[in-house]
Structure 1
Amino acid sequence: MPEVIFNGPDGRLEGRYHHGKSPNAPLALLLHPHPQHGGTMNNKVVYALYHAFVRRGFSTLRFNFRGVGRSQGKFDNGQGELSDAASALDWMQSFNANASACWVGGFSFGAWIGMQLLMRRPEIDGFVSVAPPANVFDFSFLAPCPSSGLIVHGTNDDLVPEPTVAKLAAKLATQRNIKVRYETIEGANHFFGTHLDALDGMVDSYLAESIVARAPAPPPVAEPELAVALS
């Protein structure tokens, strides 16, 4: 899990990066919760997401937004953080020119930033959004949502009421040509606490299914020619 430092739009950004073993390993960029409420790349939910993607063979990056940890700059109400995420994706792509897929994942504020990045970068073809703050931030920009993905929320979330996220997920699920899966974890609050194992298992299962579903079809096998017996 090597530490990396890369250039962002407002100074250097600090991250942790795992390079996938496959030469065409898919990419995953993971975004942390609100910087002004203690959010960092070492948040337990982000850490769980990171390892779920690593286990499935992704080249995976989590990083600190501007002004967090050793990342330079200061909080910019989402606009600067979206630029940070775009720079992080650029950095990953510079080392993974042959990546077979590109995913973004985020928790809370990071989910909001991740979904905005999804709209701006057509190469992103999958997402995982954990506890997206649909009661605080406007998600109407997802019109339409360009990629399939997973939304996970806790039924006992006291910061983001579950019905607001269910409404968002239902709206996205009505769109054609994509599939948005909405899963809830019974008893989990906004930070998932003792339910991290359930979250990890849910994300891991979704990634396993998605990798199989999106794998290219094998080339057709030619029928063997019939042997012609010589008389």
Structure 2
Amino acid sequence: MTDDFGATATTLTTADGLSLEAQWALPAGPRNRIVIAHPHPQYGGNMHSLVVSTLFTHLVGSGCAVLRFNFRGVGGSEGEHDFGEGEQLDVWAAVEAMAAAGSEQCPLVLAGWSFGADMALTCDAPELAGWFLVAPPLRVVNADRFKAAADPRPKWLAVPERDQFNPPDQAQATTADWANAEIHPVGGADHFLVGRTDRLNTLIDGFLADL
């Protein structure tokens, strides 16, 4: 089924055989391709959460190909929450699906909010052009799982000024030795970014332009 902004339902299959509920928009000749991972399932996170929906709608409206999905155990996705372990396979499945759906000449970016941002950092698929990470806690899994940290491809971290879990100064210290990582504070925002999501649209536009 297609919704008002041209997105359609689809299904992803993980390496361990689970079927995941997903939605994507695949315009002809997209400017970029973006996969977006949602916040923590145990706190109500799903592919329709605020930041995910804001970025999805904005990017589709900008002519990008965009994919969002529900982690295992969320909504119509099979399986159950796996505390950041199996969810790494979910991210890979989404990236592989988007990689197969478009041209290699069109940059592919992996984005995520909160738990989804940390899960995005565990994926270093060769097809990726970079990572856009919103309010990453940087502690969902052990730091050695963050394969993107040492990767030379660009990483922008949009960190809310008043983030309750990982404010900009703490994020800066954590990522000080990461390769090609930039902290972009989001003024006036806390971890949930209510009333500040427009600033994320501007930031991701800048990130995509840099690519």
What TM-score range do you get, normalising by the shorter chain? 0.7 to 0.9
- Counterpart residue number, 1:20: 27
Structure-to-structure mapping, 1:28-177, within 5 angstroms = 28-118=34-124, 121-135=125-139, 137-140=141-144, 141-142=146-147, 144-172=150-178, 175=179
C-alpha spacing 1:203/1:77, structure 2 compared with 1 (3 Å)? same
Offset at residue 46 of structure 1 (A): 1.1
Structure 2: where are the runs of 5+ without partners?
1-6
Aligned residues of 2:10 and 2:24 also touching (Cα < 8 A):
yes
**Superposed CA offset, 1:181-200 (max 9, x none):** 21111221101011111222
- Counterpart residue number, 1:185: 186
- Counterpart residue number, 1:198: 199
Aligned residues of 2:156 and 2:181 also touching (Cα < 8 A):
yes
* Bigger mean CA offset, 70-79 vs 4-13: 4-13
Q: Give the Cα–Cα distance (whole angstroms) in 2 for the partners of residues 31 and 137 of structure 1.
A: 15
Offset at residue 49 of structure 1 (A): 2.2
Aligned residues of 1:135 and 1:160 also touching (Cα < 8 A):
no
Letter in 1 for 2:126: P
Secondary structure of the structure 2 residue equivalent to 1:129:
strand
**Superposed CA offset, 1:129-172 (max 9, x none):** 01111255433444512311211111111133332212134332
Aligned residues of 1:134 and 1:164 also touching (Cα < 8 A):
no
Between the two proteins, what is the percent identity of the paired residues?
A: 30
C-alpha spacing 1:204/1:55, structure 2 compared with 1 (3 Å)? farther
Offset at residue 56 of structure 1 (A): 4.0
Aligned residues of 1:105 and 1:129 also touching (Cα < 8 A):
yes
The number of equivalent residue pairs is 202
TM-score, structure 1 normalization? 0.79
Secondary structure of the structure 2 residue equivalent to 1:170:
coil
Q: Give the Cα–Cα distance (whole angstroms) in 2 for the partners of residues 196 and 93 of structure 1.
A: 27
Offset at residue 202 of structure 1 (A): 1.9
Offset at residue 206 of structure 1 (A): 2.5
Q: CA RMSD in A?
A: 2.1
Letter in 2 for 1:15: A
Aligned residues of 2:99 and 2:127 also touching (Cα < 8 A):
no
Q: Give the Cα–Cα distance (whole angstroms) in 1 for the partners of residues 53 and 24 of structure 2.
A: 12
TM-score, structure 2 normalization? 0.85
Offset at residue 105 of structure 1 (A): 0.3
